[in-house]
């Protein structure tokens, strides 16, 4: 396959997705915005600063925010979670 580099690329192609038609009014996180903000703070501060072997503490934090986690699950301080 050869390409002709002497010509500029065609820039008049139709976009695959028309983002001007996107409507985010029906988007729902499932939780209030203030709770999502608190979670971001907890994940940014409490998770990375917890000791390596404090899996129970990290499980407890996740369960405070509604997570369902098994009893012997190991959650590392570098884990990231999205609502």
What is the 8-class DSSP label of residue 78?
T
* Domain extent listing, the chain: 53-83
pLDDT value of residue 8: 79
Calculate the CA 22 to chain-centre distance. 20
Q: Is the pTM above the cut of 0.85? A: no
pLDDT of 45-82, one tens digit each?
998 999 999 999 999 999 999 999 988 899 999 999 88
**pLDDT for 18-50, tens place per residue?**
888 888 888 888 888 899 999 999 999 998 999
Torsion, Cα 57 58 59 60, to 10 degrees, reads 50
Side-chain half-sphere CA neighbours of 81 within 13 A: 22
Rounded Cα distance, 36 and 42, in Å: 10
Q: Is residue 10 a contact partner of residue 42, using CB atoms and an 8 Å limit? A: no
pLDDT of residue 80: 92
């Amino acid at each position: 396959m050869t390409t002709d580099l002497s010509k500029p690329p065609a820039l008049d192609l139709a976009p695959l997705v028309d983002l001007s038609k996107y409507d985010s009014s029906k988007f729902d996180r499932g939780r209030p915005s203030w709770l999502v903000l608190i979670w971001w703070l907890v994940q940014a501060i409490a998770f990375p600063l917890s000791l390596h072997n404090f899996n129970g503490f990290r499980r407890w934090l996740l369960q405070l925010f509604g997570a369902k986690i098994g009893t012997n699950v190991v959650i590392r301080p570098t884990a990231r979670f999205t609502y």
